């Protein structure tokens, strides 16, 4: 069906916008390079390039009746044509006007008609006046310049394809990953079935030893052979499909992979403009611009990089006079370095050679905005203090400007990194500069995921955010400030149950509490939390499938995937999990009812009859009892075994009860041990001596009563 005129015009304008953006970026980048170049031959090449870009854009604008863009391009083309003829050479200030013209064209490309005709006419006039304000170079300095050639056309091996068409094609290719996983699962199922079948036949054959093989058993052996062949064929098919799908996915991903330089080209002009506004000077350097990353990741991280570069200029680099005073060159250097890491990750480092970050200022800002108390800030190490900069609302700039001061820039950087399954870190050195590092996946569609189980359900966590998987003895879990913690490498890590964070129904209490707890430690930046799970099932490559309407944004959920078994499984959102964990219900271990541990009592008595009587009374009441024959014997036992209390006679050889009590009270480890003196000494002065020695109770044997003794012991122990 033929397109209507309106539809045709829409598609034509869409094609024009894509082409125009490329031309504007090329013009802006050429102007930046031309401004820094003094060699005549290099200048001539750059002038030629900018002239061609303006000429091509003028023709494209004329085709879609964008007269404002056409007029601006005509003014630029005329100016650079005059430069080519050596009729003028712009002064340095002229580059500001030329860059403003490029910015105005970009605005018109994004919103046709969004700029009034008066503004366009003024810019055309400003460009024309540059030639009269700039000197004509001496004749001796005018190099020979060839006549301009027609703008180059794309080669025959290059085509322009709408990204929406490309995205749809790649998504279909990515769906094949599910086919690969399912074929592999079927092969594994057949292999397991074949092994079980063979084992069962061996069992039947062994049970029927000495008896001729029955026809049924013979038939089973034939079926075993066929099953073996099917299993081998399934294995072969699994390998073949896996290889083909892998090649298809790699080829499809390559279509979405773009060199980092393709989106870093907006940063040099940003650096130039911001430095001009703040009276600073800086060179912008890109390293590793050829490293290719998924286009979707580049689009997501573009804003974060702009924030980091703005941060370098506003907070990092000093003004020229200050740099010279401290022994630095007047011009600072801002570097963006892109490095591929571990084959499937990429690190983007934004570094400046400025003054560095004042950690104490960061702490002060966090205290000012109520993020933490002064006491808590004083306990932070440098890494933890620097991580405060990524919290929303924390800013070390006292004045809010267009560039900074709202405390949002670095929070956006952290948010973008978390969303992409990456992380951000910062390093700084006073007087030397700072470096912000983003660690991101190379591709967005597929990733390595760790499968965990909670409340009988399976979930996927991006492996890049899992710092550690392990098990811990249940009795090693400690309670600190009403929250459960683990000690990992000498550091306390909060522990929550994953099912609690996801608000799943609490599991039924186990008949017997397991001795070990399985956990995964999830980390993002400086934050890490241990999540208790029922099991860790393994790691596999998974394909991210976004949730459709109305579930576009569900807390703690990043998307879904289909496992090899054909089961749809949710992918967890790491950033949400770390935010939700502190609000989850406390981690509660279901401890089965056990008989209370018996309290231990040491009975000290030199009379064997009295010693056996006291021992029998206390053991009948449920206490674990050991005996000693006098005070010295008791001291020896108490230094090697723990007890909950002492019941002692007073009159004993070597060391009596008063002396024993005094020595216990003088011992730092045993000073709080309850002591009950049971004696025939009933004079008031004896009773007072016992109290002075430190006894907790004094019972006279003449009025001895079994219930009285037990009541005193229960109260004290």
The domains of the chain are located at 5-139, 166-257, 260-441, 448-583, 600-716
Encode 159-170 in three state secondary structure.
CCCCHHHHHHHH
For residues 106-126, average pLDDT: 84
- Higher-scoring residue by pLDDT: 684, 603: 603
How far from the centroid of its chain's Cα atoms is residue 118's Cα?
50
Task: Please say if the pLDDT value at position 32 is more than 80.
Answer: yes
> Residues of 309-329 as b/e, b for ≥16 C-beta within 10 angstroms?
bbbbbbbbbbebeebeeeebe
- Residue 312 structure tokens: 């370098």
Region 13-20: what's the mean pLDDT?
A: 80
Q: Indicate the helix (H) or strand (E) that contains 250.
A: helix 215-256
Structure tokens at 453: 């189980």
Q: What is the pLDDT of residue 378?
A: 80
Can you say whether residue 266 is alpha, beta or left, with left for phi > 0 and alpha for psi between -120 and 50 degrees? Answer: alpha
CA atoms of 483 and 500, how far apart (whole Å): 13
Round the average pLDDT of the chain to a whole number and report it.
79
Tokens of 290: 């050829």
Which pLDDT does position 531 carry in this prediction? 92
Q: 5-139 has which CATH code?
A: 1.20.120.160
Which residues touch 62 (CB under 8 Å, ≥6 apart)? Answer: 70
Q: Specify the pLDDT at position 144.
A: 39
Distance in angstroms (rounded) separating the CA atoms of residues 352 and 590: 53
Q: What pLDDT sits at residue 143?
A: 39
Question: Environment class of residue 388 by beta-carbon count within 10 Å: exposed (0-12), middle (13-18) or buried (19+)?
Answer: buried
Strand order in the sheet with 446-454: 535-543, 446-454, 457-462, 568-572, 557-562
- Mean pLDDT over 402-415 rounds to 61
Domain boundaries 448-583, corresponding CATH code: 2.40.50.180
Give the pLDDT confidence score for residue 510 in this predicted structure.
Answer: 55
- The Cα–Cα gap between 453 and 457 comes to 5
CA distance 532 to 496: 6
SS3 (DSSP) at 453: strand
Q: 166-257 maps to which CATH number?
A: 1.10.287
Q: How far apart are the first and last CA of the chain?
A: 94
Task: Give the per-residue pLDDT at 149.
Answer: 35
Query: What local confidence, expressed as pLDDT, does residue 506 receive?
Result: 62
Judge if 166-257 and 448-583 fold alike in CATH terms: no
pLDDT mean over 110-135:
79
- 333: three-class secondary structure by DSSP: strand
Higher per-residue pLDDT: 77 or 397? 77
Q: Is the pLDDT of residue 86 over 60?
A: yes
φ/ψ bin of 71: left (φ > 0), alpha (ψ from -120 to 50), beta (otherwise): alpha
Lowest-pLDDT range of 58-62, 245-249, 301-305:
245-249
pLDDT tens by residue, 463-490: 878 888 888 887 778 776 667 888 887 7
* CATH class given for the domain over 600-716: alpha beta
- At a CB cut-off of 8 Å and minimum separation 6, what does 160 contact? 15, 18, 19, 154
Q: Binning pLDDT at 50, 70 and 90, where does residue 151 land? A: very low
Stretch among 144-158, 284-298, 427-441, 506-520 having the lowest mean pLDDT: 144-158
φ, ψ at 603 (rounded to 5°): -100, 125
The model's confidence at residue 139, banded by pLDDT at 50, 70 and 90, is very low
pLDDT, mean of residues 42-46: 85
Mean pLDDT of 8-33: 81
For domain 260-441, give the CATH number: 3.30.565.10
Separation of alpha carbons 287 and 92, rounded Å: 27
In 551-706, DSSP assigns E strands to 557-562, 568-572, 600-604, 624-628, 645-648, 675-679, 697-700
Pick 527 or 635 by higher pLDDT. Answer: 635
Rounded to an integer, what distance in angstroms lies between the CA atom of residue 57 and that of residue 26? 11
Q: Cα 183 vs. chain centroid, distance in angstroms?
A: 32
pLDDT of amino acid 514: 61
pLDDT at site 647: 92
User: Residue 462 has what pLDDT?
Assistant: 85
Which whole-number Å values give the CA distances from 76 to 100, 130, 399, in the listed order?
Answer: 12, 11, 39
Query: Could you give the count of Cα atoms lying within 13 Å of 96 in the half-sphere of its Cβ?
Result: 8
Residue 50, pLDDT > 90, answer no
- Tell me phi and psi for residue 276, to 5 degrees: -60, -45
Confidence of residue 155 (pLDDT cuts 50, 70, 90): very low
Question: What are the C-alpha distances in Å from 580 to residues 341, 442, 449, 500, 576?
Answer: 30, 28, 21, 10, 6
State the Cα–Cα distance between residues 161 and 262, nearest whole angstrom: 17
> What confidence category does residue 513 fall into, taking pLDDT thresholds of 50, 70 and 90?
low
Strands 697-700 and 675-679: parallel
Query: Which residue do the tokens 């008066």 mark?
Result: 118
Q: Report pLDDT digits (tens) over 608-650.
A: 777 877 887 888 788 899 999 899 999 988 988 889 999 998 8
Map tokens 């949400």 to a residue: 576
Reference 24, options 301, 275, 266; nearest CA is 266
pLDDT digit string, tens, across residues 235-265: 888 888 878 877 777 777 677 778 888 778 7
pLDDT in tens, 564-586: 666 778 888 888 888 888 777 66
pLDDT at 116: 81
Per-residue pLDDT at 566: 65
312 vs 435: CA distance, rounded Å: 9
């Amino acid at each position: 069906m033929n397109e209507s005129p309106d539809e045709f015009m829409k598609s034509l304008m869409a094609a024009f916008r894509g082409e125009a953006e490329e031309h504007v970026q090329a013009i802006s980048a050429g102007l930046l390079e031309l401004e820094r170049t003094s060699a005549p031959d290099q200048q001539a090449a750059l002038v030629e390039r900018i002239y061609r870009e303006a000429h091509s854009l003028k023709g494209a604008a004329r085709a879609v009746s964008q007269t404002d863009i056409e007029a601006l391009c005509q003014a630029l083309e005329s100016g650079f044509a005059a430069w080519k003829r050596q009729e003028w050479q712009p002064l340095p200030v002229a580059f500001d006007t030329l860059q403003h013209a490029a910015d105005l064209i970009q605005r018109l490309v994004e919103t046709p008609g969004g700029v009034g005709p008066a503004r366009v006419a003024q810019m055309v006039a400003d460009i024309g006046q540059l030639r009269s304000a700039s000197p004509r170079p001496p004749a001796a300095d005018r190099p020979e310049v060839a006549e301009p050639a027609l703008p180059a056309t794309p080669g025959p091996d290059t085509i322009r394809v709408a990204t929406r068409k490309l995205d749809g094609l790649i998504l279909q290719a990515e769906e094949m990953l599910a086919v690969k996983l399912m074929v592999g699962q079927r092969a594994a199922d057949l292999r397991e079935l074949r092994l079980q079948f063979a084992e069962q036949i061996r069992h039947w054959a062994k049970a029927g030893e000495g008896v001729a093989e029955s026809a049924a058993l013979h038939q089973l052996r034939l079926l075993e052979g066929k099953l073996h062949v099917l299993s081998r064929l399934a294995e072969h098919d699994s390998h073949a499909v896996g290889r083909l799908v892998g090649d298809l996915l790699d080829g499809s991903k390559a279509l979405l992979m773009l060199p980092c330089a393709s989106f870093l080209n907006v940063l040099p002009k940003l650096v130039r403009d911001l430095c001009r506004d703040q009276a600073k000077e800086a060179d912008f350097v890109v390293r590793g611009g050829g490293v290719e990353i998924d286009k979707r990741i580049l689009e997501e991280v573009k804003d974060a990089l702009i924030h980091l570069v703005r941060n370098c200029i506003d907070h990092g680099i000093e003004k020229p006079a200050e740099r010279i005073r401290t022994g630095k060159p007047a011009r600072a250097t801002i570097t963006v370095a892109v490095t591929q890491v571990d084959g499937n990750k990429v690190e983007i480092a934004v570094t400046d050679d400025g003054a560095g970050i004042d950690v104490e200022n960061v702490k002060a800002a966090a205290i000012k905005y109520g993020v933490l108390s002064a006491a808590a800030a004083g306990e932070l190490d440098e890494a933890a203090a620097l991580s405060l900069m990524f919290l929303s609302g924390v800013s070390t700039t006292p004045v809010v400007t267009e560039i900074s001061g709202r405390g949002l820039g670095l929070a956006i950087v952290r948010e973008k990194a978390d969303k992409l399954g990456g992380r951000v870190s910062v390093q700084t050195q006073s007087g030397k500069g700072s470096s912000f590092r983003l660690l991101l996946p190379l591709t967005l569609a597929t990733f390595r995921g760790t499968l965990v189980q909670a409340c009988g359900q399976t979930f996927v966590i991006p492996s890049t955010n899992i710092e550690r998987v392990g098990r811990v003895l249940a009795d090693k879990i400690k309670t600190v400030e009403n929250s459960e913690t683990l000690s990992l490498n000498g550091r306390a890590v909060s522990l929550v149950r994953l099912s609690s964070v996801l608000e799943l129904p609490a599991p039924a209490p186990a008949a017997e509490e397991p001795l070990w707890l399985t956990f995964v430690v999830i980390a993002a930046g400086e934050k890490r939390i241990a999540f208790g799970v029922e099991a860790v099932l393994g790691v596999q490559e998974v394909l991210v499938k976004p949730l459709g309407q109305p579930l576009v944004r569900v807390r703690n959920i990043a998307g879904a995937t289909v496992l090899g078994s054909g089961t749809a499984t949710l992918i967890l959102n790491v950033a949400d999990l770390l935010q939700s964990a502190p609000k989850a219900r406390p981690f509660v271990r279901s401890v089965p009812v056990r008989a209370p541990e018996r309290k231990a009592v040491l009975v000290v008595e030199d009379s064997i009859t009295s010693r056996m009587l006291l021992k029998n009374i206390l053991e009948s009441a449920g206490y674990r009892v050991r005996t000693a024959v006098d005070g010295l014997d008791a001291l020896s036992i108490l230094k090697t075994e723990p007890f909950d209390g002492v019941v002692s006679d007073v009159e004993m050889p070597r060391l009596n009860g008063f002396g024993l009590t005094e020595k216990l009270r003088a011992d730092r480890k045993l000073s709080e041990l309850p002591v009950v003196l049971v004696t025939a000494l009933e004079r008031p002065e004896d009773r007072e001596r016992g109290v002075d020695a430190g006894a907790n109770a004094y019972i006279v044997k003449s009025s001895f009563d079994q219930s009285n003794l037990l009541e005193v012991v229960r109260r004290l122990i």
